[in-house]
């Protein structure tokens, strides 16, 4: 069994009285984990309160209280590809992530994620990602090195002052007269829960798209997201009829199957550029990952 090296944290939200039991809350928040499993974890002292003390089945629900738990998995998938550290100083670290590797723990991935790998490599448990990309996407991820400066780097993305581009290889129908697009629409959670959809209402997503080159029925594009909604680039390209090669979610959800390491999603977080708010230096980074034609 794989057990997480670091605890996950969940905060008990405000709720109507009478408050639910902590077990009932955990079942609602994490429906894929059985009640029997949660009860066993609690009874074994594996769920802790904010003071680091184990809770028990009778511990009262207290809104805004933090719970700490260690994720477990009978058999964790192994991703046979390595990340590359492109830059590392006293404030930030920039890594180039391979396809298939998640940035943080999630689903069946506990220790097999970019964050855990880099914390082990650097010996720095305070390392934390400032931006995130999909597990299926390769490319650049920025990490903060110190807790006290983390919010400063988060603000770069929150205020949209980071210049970032992606490259994608997509299906390309013949006879397209255009080479540039600006896509603006509203993206919301769809069904199943892990897919996104375009919905009516005020726009909350925006992407500039440029055609770079065409080879037969495929083309390479540069994508410049102005906003950062989940699966934004995949949804926008699919909506234009330019489905990204090996996309299992868009435009149609493919049957679930094991990762095909020979056919990764042809999407790479290609560049990051920004003024470092601590040093004042202009920073430019480029991915070392290549797309397959």
> Averaged over 230-234, what is the pLDDT?
97
Cα separation, 57 vs 38, whole angstroms: 10
Check whether 31 has a pLDDT greater than 90. Answer: no
- Among residues 142, 266, 267, 249, which one has the least CA distance to residue 187? 249
Span 122-161, pLDDT tens digits: 999 999 999 999 999 999 999 999 999 999 999 999 999 9
Instruction: Say if residues 130 and 150 touch (Cβ distance below 8 Å).
Output: yes
Strand, coil or helix: 246: coil
Q: Average pLDDT of 217-232?
A: 96
Q: Where in the chain is the domain with CATH 3.10.290?
A: 2-73
pLDDT of residue 2: 80
Q: Report how far residue 27's alpha carbon sits from residue 35's, in angstroms, rounded to the nearest whole number.
A: 6
| pLDDT given for residue 276 in this prediction | 97
Q: 2-73 adopts what CATH topology?
A: 3.10.290
Token pair for residue 260?
A: 């095909």
Q: How far apart are the two ends of the chain, measured CA to CA in Å?
A: 39
Paired strand residues for 66: 11
Say what the pTM is. 0.84
CA distances from 224 to 33, 169, 218 (A): 38, 14, 19
Query: pLDDT-based confidence at 199, cuts 50/70/90?
Result: very high
Query: How much is the pLDDT for 8?
Result: 87
Q: What pLDDT digit, counting tens, does each position of 165-192 carry? A: 999 999 998 777 899 999 999 999 999 8
Residue range(s) in the chain whose domain bears CATH number 3.30.2350.10: 84-160, 165-267
Rounded to an integer, the average pLDDT of 77-86 is 97
What are the C-alpha distances in Å from 132 to residues 91, 114, 140, 141? 18, 10, 9, 6
Residue 171 · residue 245 · CB < 8 Å: yes
Phi, psi (5° rounding) for residue 18? Answer: -70, 140
Residue 70 has pLDDT above 90, yes or no: no
- Cα distance between residue 129 and residue 92, in whole Å: 10
Tell me the backbone φ, ψ of residue 151, rounded to 5 degrees.
Answer: -65, -30
Count of beta carbons in the 10 Å neighbourhood of residue 42? 20
CA distance linking residue 218 with residue 222, whole number of Å: 14
C-alpha span between 153 and 131 (Å, rounded): 9
Pick the CATH number of 84-160 from 3.30.300.30, 3.40.640.10, 3.30.2350.10, 1.10.10.60: 3.30.2350.10
165-267 fold: Pseudouridine synthase (3.30.2350)
């Amino acid at each position: 069994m794989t057990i997480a090296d670091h605890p996950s944290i969940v905060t008990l939200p405000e709720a109507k009285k009478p408050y639910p039991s902590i077990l009932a809350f955990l079942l609602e928040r994490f429906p894929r984990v059985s009640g029997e499993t949660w009860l066993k974890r609690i009874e074994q002292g594996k769920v802790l309160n904010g003071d680091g003390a184990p809770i028990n089945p009778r511990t009262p629900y207290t809104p805004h209280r933090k719970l700490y738990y260690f994720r477990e998995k009978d058999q964790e998938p192994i991703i046979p590809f390595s990340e590359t550290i492109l830059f590392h100083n006293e404030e930030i670290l920039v890594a180039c992530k391979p396809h298939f590797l998640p940035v943080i723990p999630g689903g069946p991935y506990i220790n097999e994620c970019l964050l855990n790998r880099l914390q082990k490599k650097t010996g720095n448990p305070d390392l934390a990602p400032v931006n995130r990309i999909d597990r299926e996407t390769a490319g650049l991820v920025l990490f903060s090195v110190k807790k006290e400066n983390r919010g400063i780097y988060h603000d770069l993305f929150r205020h949209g002052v980071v210049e970032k581009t992606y490259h994608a290889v997509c299906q390309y129908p013949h006879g397209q007269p255009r080479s540039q697009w600006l896509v603006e629409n509203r993206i919301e959670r769809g069904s199943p829960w892990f897919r996104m959809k375009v919905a009516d209402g005020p726009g909350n997503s925006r992407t500039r798209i440029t055609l770079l080159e065409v080879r037969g029925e495929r083309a390479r594009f540069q994508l410049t997201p102005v906003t950062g909604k989940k699966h934004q680039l995949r949804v926008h390209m699919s909506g234009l009829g330019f489905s990204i090669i090996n996309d299992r979610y868009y435009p149609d959800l493919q049957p679930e199957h094991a990762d095909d390491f020979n056919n990764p999603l042809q999407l790479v977080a290609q560049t990051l550029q920004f003024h470092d708010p601590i040093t004042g230096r202009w920073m430019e980074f480029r991915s070392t990952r290549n797309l397959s034609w």
